[in-house]
Each structure stands twice: as C-alpha cells, then as structure tokens.
Structure 1
Amino acid sequence: MQRVLIVDDEPMIRKGFIKLVKQYDAALEVYSANNGHDAIQTMQHVSPDIVLTDIRMPKMDGLELSKTIHETKTNTSVVIISGYDDFHYAKQCISYGVKEYLLKPVTETELYPVLDKLLSLRKHTSVSLSLYEEWLKEAEEAIWTLDDCRLAELLERWKTTYAEEGVQVSQCQQLVSDGLDILLRRLQARGITIALPHNVVSVLSIHEGAEYFQNAIREIAKQIVDYRGGNQKKLFDEAIQYIDLHIKEDVSLENIAEKIGLTPAYFSHYFKKIAKESFVQYRMRKRIELARTLLEMPQYKVVDVGLEVGFPNYTYFHKVFKRMTGYSPTEYRTMMGIK
C-alpha cells in the first residue's frame, strides 16, 4: 500500500489536499501533520512514499523537514507546495533532494501529473530512489571535477543497474529525465547553465535511453570544459591557490572541499589523483618549504618559525622538520651559515 503524508499548518488546506489525493486514488493511505516536527513524529510510525509539504510553518518549516528527510536517506519523495515563488527557496530545495516545487493554489491539473510520476516510478520498478540519489551525487562530483575515468565507471554502473534489469522503457525515460533535471539544477546552483538539445521522451527502447543518457552526460562535461576555457585542472588550481594562501592557518580538508563544492571524501580522492600526494602531505610539504625559507632569514628565531608556518608547538615542528629534511631546524640554520 502506498502512502502520502500532507504537511501544512492550515487545517482547511490540509483537508483540501487530502480530498484531492483521495480523489486521485482512493486506495492511497493519506496521513497529515500540521508542521515539520509533527511530520517527523508521524514518519517514525509510517513510511510515506511522498511528502507534500508547505514551506512556512511553526516549529519546523518545510525546508528543515526536507533537509531532515534528505539526511536520513529514506526512500521518501518530497514535494514542496508553497505560496512563494522565490528562487532562494527553490535553490535550497534542490540541495535537499526535493522532487517538485509547486505554487499555490494547486489543482488536480498540477498535482496529479506529479503523483503519476512519483508513484508510478515506485509501483512498477524496484529502483531504490535513495541509491539513485547517491549515484547522482557521485555523478555530479565526477562531472564537476571532469574525472573521466570515474564518470565512465558511474555510467557503466548506471547502465547495468537501470537499463539491463527489466526496467520498462517509460521507467527508463523517467529515470533519465529526472536524473538529468536534477544534475542540471545542481550545476545551475553552482553558477553554470547547461543546454541539452534533445528530448528524452523521444527514446523508443532501453538501449536508446541508456545511449541518450550517456551522451547527455558527456555533453554536460564538454560544456563545463568550455566554461573553464578548456582547462580541466582549473578546479584543482583553485583549491591549491586557496591552500597556499592559507598555509599558515588551520584550514581543514572539509573547509577546502566545501569551498569548491565537493564532499570531503571525494575531494580527498580528487586531490590525491591530481597532486600525486594527499592533502595532508601537500600541506605539510608546503609548510616545511616555507619554514626553510624563514630559517634562512636571521630576524626569525628558530623557536618562532614553527608557529609562523602553522605548527601548534616547537616540539612537533622539530620532529616533522627533521623527518622531512634530515636536519633539525637549528642544524639547518647552521648549515646556512646563520648563528
């Protein structure tokens, strides 16, 4: 049995949506809550397939509810229904995995196609939407970093999972359409608009659907290359520039990853692939290089150099410096002819 949860702090609006949903399919189990907090309580007892939620509500609003559902990685699709046509809201909704953003007043003309799409996808295929969401996150990062090898692996996984296991043509179309729509919106939120020339509805077979999806992904990557002026390492260069500029500070891998729009785990993988050393190794090497430069300047005291380049204390600085150069800081300074 499929379930729909309606969340709105206005009783009449809740009743109206309950009526609309039951008219759409009387067999659906329909639940309601008057704010996000109550919705989370309800979801501890039932697992809705779809949550229809307003944005502005007391205790917990629709955006916070969407974020909470997204972070719990449930298989629930969230649809925002709001009276506010605001790009700020829409942008946040994209980051929280919201499937649709509808503006009030909502009639069956707007609502029923959304229910058709989301419920039929669940009814007729065993596709895990939470796993598909994870795949999309990985694909977004591979596209954004122009990691061709990783992208090829992901596309092969997509083909194996969604185009060779009994998925119907209409379901494949929906997966392709939703996947591309989500990717394009997320890239737009990063500041780049991608144009795709064809319509996925025209595909006539699973093979065509998979081929269309792969070609569309490659076209997206190509447009990002063009956007960066053909420089595939521009994103890496931005990260290096930021690290070097803040080499003396306690800037973490998480800080850098957030700045360039990647998850920490993927940024760590991406950095090591390009730099041929880990983020920690790179930062340590740059700090020791800077320390050597400062030790060659008589005005700097040896005990102060470590702190100047970002080490928490002299003992740790002495240990790392000797391990990486073969000399203690004092021995290095003596070698430079400085007393």
Structure 2
Amino acid sequence: MQRILIVDDEPMIRKGFLALVKKYDPKLEVCAANNGLDAMQKMQHFSPDIVLTDIRMPKMDGLSLSKAIHETKTNTSVVIISGYDDFQYAKQCISYGVKEYLLKPVTEAELYPVLDKLLSLQKHTAVSLSLYEEWLKDAEEAIWTLDDIRLEELLDRWRTTYAKEGVQVSQCQQLVADGLDILQRRLQARGFKAVLPQNVISTLNIREAADYFQNAIREIANQILHYRSGNQKKLFDEAIRFIDLHIKEDVSLETIAEKVGLTPAYFSHYFKKIAKESFVQYRMRKRIELARALLEMPQYKVVDAGLEAGFPNYTYFHKVFKKMTGYSPTEYRAMMGIK
C-alpha cells in the first residue's frame, strides 16, 4: 500500500488536498501534518512514498523539510506546493532532490499526472530502509561471528533485492556505499578496523556494484579471521569463559549476548550451533558437574553443595540432579563412600 503525506499549515488547504488524493485513488494511505516539524515526527511511524508540502510554514518550512528528508536518504519523493511569490525560493530545493513544483491553487489536471509519474516510479524502485537496516544488522553479526553459510545467504538476498531489474544505478551505488560505511563503523565500534580496496563506486554499473559489495563483505570477514589468528571458535570461547566464571550466578542469556556483542536471539542460535546444546542446557550441565565435585568433598553438606553450585533451593537441586544423573544427591554421595 503506497502512502502520501500532505504538509500545510492551512486546515482548509490540507482538507482540499486530502480530498483530491482520495479521489485520485481511495486505496492510497494518506496522512496530514500542519508543518515540517509535525511531518518529521509523523514520518517516524508513517513512511510516505510521496510528500506534498507547502513552502511557508511555522516551526519548520518546506525547504527545511525537503533538506531533512533528503538527509535521511529515504526513497521518498518530495513535491513542493508553492505560491507564485515563493517559486524562486522553491527552486532552492533542487539540491534536496525535490521531484516536482506545483503552483497554488492546485487542480486535478495538475496534481494527478504528477502522482501518476511518482507512484509508478516508486513501484519499481522503492527500497525499504527499515528492511535494509535489518539486513545490515544480520550481516554485521554474520561477519563478526564468521558464519560463512549465513553470510552467503545474506549476500544472495542482497543481490536479488537491491541489484534487481527496476532498481536505479544511482540507488544501487548509494546502497553499496552506505552499507559498507555503516558496517565498517559498527565493526570499528567493536574494536576492529577493516581496510577495503579503493574503488570509485559512482563509476560502477549495477552488476559491478553488486560484485564489489559482495567481494568487500567477504574481504572484511577474511580480515577478521586473520585478525583472530585463524581462531575458528570465534566468540564461542569468550562466551564459555564468561559463563563458567559466573556459573553460580543467575546470569541471563541477554547479559552474555551483550558481553560478546550479539543480539540475544542470534546468540542463542549461534551458541546452540557451536555447543550442540542450548545455553540453558549447557549452564545446567556445568552446575551439575560442579555439584558432583562438591558432593565428593566430605566437608560440604548436601544442601550446601546445591546452593554453592547455583541452585536456589534443595528441592530444585534434588529434582534436577536426579533427572540428569539418575541418582539423588544423597545417593550419589553414598556411592562415593561418604556418609
């Protein structure tokens, strides 16, 4: 469903534009704002394909709004609605990617061809920045964990989504440049600085830009592998050390995920893939191992062994211990010859 945002400080003009747009296509989602600042706030939850905006408005005018939209690097098309006296002023917006200028009063004959053109263009070239942001997060984690299979899946998805027919060359080039810049900055925040070969992305066609992007991503992963001296266990050892060090404490999966720089969901998947058991299963197994070691020491009471191993009470300790070993803590101690 395509969306249009109407921005004007005059209530009657907003109402008139709403009626015109709804008459053009009742299926369109339409929202209105009374100035540029209001529009920017609404755009946080309502991502428009087209913004129709007046020039002269309080708080934030149409020129400032056009600049702000341009700086977000979204695929939103901006149409300036201007009074005659504002037309020269409106031309300043050309550097902010404004697509069309319409002079007040606007009629169906003037507005509808513009909507035809811009909505048709959006259908073929629209790129969801929120989905691209999700892709970048997934790619960052796959690169950092050196998950080659996941990374190749993501690269294939990138190519079929952002280097397909209908995507403009300049748009693909921008996605490559922005994507690599964001990934490099995020990895640098983790303590790793990637070095990529210099390339003038603006000279590449879509196929060349996609090839360069994929090769650059793989090169970053190779540099991380080399940086870690070929350690194939990657972040797993760091996570295990932290868990073992705090095995007696009720440390959450979220805490450990943050420690190694991953989202909880991805860390859970990653941990199970490497350890062949879930985080909860691993922690419980290690606690039982610790409890068994303590039960083999005569100076420890059975109850104290459970508490020392991280179990909140004896009932729970007894239940888990017997389930995992086949013996109760007391029976296990008797088997060790300890009364």
Q: Same fold (TM over 0.5)?
A: yes
Question: What residue number does 2:274 align with?
Answer: 274
1:115, distance to aligned residue in structure 2 (A): 5.7
Unaligned 5+ segments in structure 2 are 8-32, 51-67, 75-92, 99-120
1:138, distance to aligned residue in structure 2 (A): 0.3
Question: What residue number does 1:313 align with?
Answer: 313
- Kindly indicate whether the alpha-carbon contact (under 8 Å) linking 2:194 and 2:223 is maintained by their aligned counterparts in 1: yes
Three-state SS of the structure 2 residue aligned to 1:192 is coil
- Map 1:204-223 to 2 at 5 A: 204-223=204-223
Question: What residue number does 1:304 align with?
Answer: 304
- Kindly indicate whether the alpha-carbon contact (under 8 Å) linking 2:70 and 2:97 is maintained by their aligned counterparts in 1: no
- Kindly indicate whether the alpha-carbon contact (under 8 Å) linking 2:296 and 2:333 is maintained by their aligned counterparts in 1: yes
Three-state SS of the structure 1 residue aligned to 2:293 is helix
- Which of 17, 31, 35 is 1:31 aligned to? 35
Distance change (3 Å), C-alpha of 1:44 and 1:275: closer
Q: Which amino acid aligns with 1:266?
A: Y
Three-state SS of the structure 1 residue aligned to 2:35 is strand
- Kindly indicate whether the alpha-carbon contact (under 8 Å) linking 1:188 and 1:194 is maintained by their aligned counterparts in 2: yes
Provide the C-alpha distance between the structure 2 equivalents of 1:261 and 1:327, rounded to a whole number of angstroms: 39
Three-state SS of the structure 2 residue aligned to 1:186 is helix
Deviations 1:113-151 (A, max 9, x none): 6768xxxx9797211111011000000000000000100
- Map 1:1-339 to 2 at 5 A: 31-33=35-37, 40=41, 42-43=42-43, 47=47, 125-201=125-201, 203-339=203-339
Q: Which amino acid aligns with 2:263?
A: T
* Structure of greater Rg: 2
1:45, distance to aligned residue in structure 2 (A): 8.7
1:205, distance to aligned residue in structure 2 (A): 2.4
Deviations 1:161-187 (A, max 9, x none): 111242122211111111111101111
Distance change (3 Å), C-alpha of 1:215 and 1:272: same
Deviations 1:205-264 (A, max 9, x none): 222111111100001101111221221323111000000000000001100001111000
Three-state SS of the structure 2 residue aligned to 1:223 is helix
Taking only aligned residues, the RMSD between alpha carbons, in angstroms, comes to 3.5
- Kindly indicate whether the alpha-carbon contact (under 8 Å) linking 2:173 and 2:204 is maintained by their aligned counterparts in 1: no
- Kindly indicate whether the alpha-carbon contact (under 8 Å) linking 1:302 and 1:329 is maintained by their aligned counterparts in 2: yes
Distance change (3 Å), C-alpha of 1:4 and 1:311: farther
- Kindly indicate whether the alpha-carbon contact (under 8 Å) linking 2:201 and 2:209 is maintained by their aligned counterparts in 1: no
1:44, distance to aligned residue in structure 2 (A): 7.8
Unaligned 5+ segments in structure 1 are 6-28, 51-75, 81-96, 99-110
1:192, distance to aligned residue in structure 2 (A): 1.1
User: What percentage of residue pairs aligned between the two structures are identical?
Assistant: 75
- Kindly indicate whether the alpha-carbon contact (under 8 Å) linking 1:163 and 1:210 is maintained by their aligned counterparts in 2: yes
Output the TM-score relative to the length of structure 2. 0.67
Provide the C-alpha distance between the structure 2 equivalents of 1:286 and 1:78, rounded to a whole number of angstroms: 54
Distance change (3 Å), C-alpha of 1:279 and 1:181: same
1:49, distance to aligned residue in structure 2 (A): 7.7
Three-state SS of the structure 2 residue aligned to 1:175 is helix
Provide the C-alpha distance between the structure 2 equivalents of 1:164 and 1:49, rounded to a whole number of angstroms: 20
Q: Which amino acid aligns with 1:31?
A: N
